[in-house]
Amino acid sequence: MPKFTLRVNGRTHEVDGEAGDSLLAVLRSDLGLTGSKFGCGEGYCGACSVLIDYQVVRSCTARLGAVAGKTITTIEGIAPSASGAERAAGPAERSEPGGVQGPPPLNRSRAQGSPPSNNARLHPVQEAFIETEAFQCGYCTPGMVIATIGLLRTNPDPSDQDIARVLDRNVCRCGTYPRIVQAVKLAAQRLRTQTLAEARGDGDDGSI
């Protein structure tokens, strides 16, 4: 079985698989990065959104063969302290390769994902979602946060219409759209007051 090299949240993983395998399945079931959600598997709900080379991509329809070697950032990798923690952890925590030999290793998700602890700093978009309570069940939230980061990279000051047009590919079945629009605008305002460098980190390790 071919091996693919994935660069996720600033770390490198060797994955056994087939070129047509879904990136979402690799992230969730091989790498233990379960922050990206399975909603439809058709690329129509956006719950699985990730950034690939800083573009918003539906990871459920992204194929392993097409994303190998590219820079992938998941919800676990967007907070400034998340990538910092990963850098500090170093290569010693490299993942086991995924494959058919047996079930995935246990308890690896928290070690690899390095999501921020309760006191860690969050990305301004994450903070804005919390402050505006822009969620109900929270299942679409990681995808919405990723989609918002993607939007604000290209349009730092979006109008309501811009937001609706770009985020229209993400579904919130609980219907919190009006709050999400408020969250996006709040985040945009905050990000505009920061320097680009502060918002993006070094831009090379998957942090943004």
Partner 1 sequence: MMDRSDAETEVERYELTEAPLYRFDLERRDFMRIFAAMGGGLLVVTSLPEAAAQESGRGGQGSRASADLSAWLHIDERGHVTAFTGKTEIGQNIRTSLAQAVADELFVPMTSVSMVMADTDLTPYDAGTFGSQTTPRMAPQLAKAAATARELLLSEAAKKWSVDAATLVVQEGRVQGPGGHSAGYGELAGRLTGTVAAARVSGPDAWTARGKAIRKIDGRTFVTGRHEFTPDLVRPGMLYGRVIRPDGYVGTLVTLDDARARAIAGVRVVRDGELAGVVAPNERILKRAVAAVRAEWSVPADHPSSETIYEHLKKAPATGGGGRGGSAPFTAGDVTQARAQAVKTFDATYRIPYIAHVPLEPRAAVAEWADGKLTVWCGTQRPFGVRSELANVFRVPEERVRVIVPDTGSAYGGKHTGEHAIEAARLAKAAGKPVKVVWTRAEEFSWGYMRPAGVIDIKAAVDAGGRLIAWEFDNWNSGGSAIRTPYDVPNQRIQFHPSASPLRQGSYRGLAATANHYAREMHMDAIARALGIDAVEFRLNHLKDARMRAVLTAAAERIGWAPSGGGRYGSGDRAAAAPSLGIACGTEKGSYVATAAQLSKTASGFKVDKLTVVFECGAVVNPDGLRNQVEGAVVQGLGGALFEAIEFRNGVIENGTMERYRVPRFKDVPPIETVILDRKDLPSAGAGETPIVCVAPAIGSAARAFGNVDTALPVKLNP
Instruction: Please report, as residue ranges, which positions from 10 to 39 form the binding site for partner 1 (by CB under 8 A).
Output: 17-18, 21-22, 25-26, 28-30, 32-39
* Dihedral sign (CA 190, 130, 152, 179): negative
For partner 1, the binding residues in 82-141 under the rule CB under 8 A are 98, 100-104, 106-107, 109, 113, 115-116, 118, 122, 126-127, 129-130, 133, 135-141
3 to each of 21, 97, 113, 142, how far by Cα in Å? Answer: 12, 9, 21, 28
For partner 1, the binding residues in 168-207 under the rule CB under 8 A are 168-181
In the chain, where does DSSP find H-type helix?
23-25, 64-67, 80-89, 108-113, 124-131, 141-154, 160-167, 177-192, 196-200
**Which lies closer to partner 1 via its Cβ, residue 71 or residue 112?**
112
124's CB contacts (< 8 A; 6+ apart) are 187, 190, 191, 194, 199
User: Does 74 interact with partner 1 (rule: CB under 8 A)?
Assistant: yes
**Which lies closer to partner 1 via its Cβ, residue 40 or residue 52?**
40
Q: In the 8-state DSSP scheme, what is residue 98? A: B
Smallest separation (angstroms) from partner 1 to the CB of 86: 14
Smallest separation (angstroms) from partner 1 to the CB of 199: 16
**Which lies closer to partner 1 via its Cβ, residue 30 or residue 205?**
30
Q: What is the DSSP string of 145-162?
A: HHHHHHHHHH-SS--HHH
3-state secondary structure at position 8: strand
User: Does 66 interact with partner 1 (rule: CB under 8 A)?
Assistant: no
Smallest separation (angstroms) from partner 1 to the CB of 156: 19
User: Does 45 interact with partner 1 (rule: CB under 8 A)?
Assistant: yes
Which stretch, 51-59, 73-81, 86-94, 188-196, contacts partner 1 (CB under 8 A)? 73-81
Judge contact between 123 and 155, C-beta under 8 A.
no
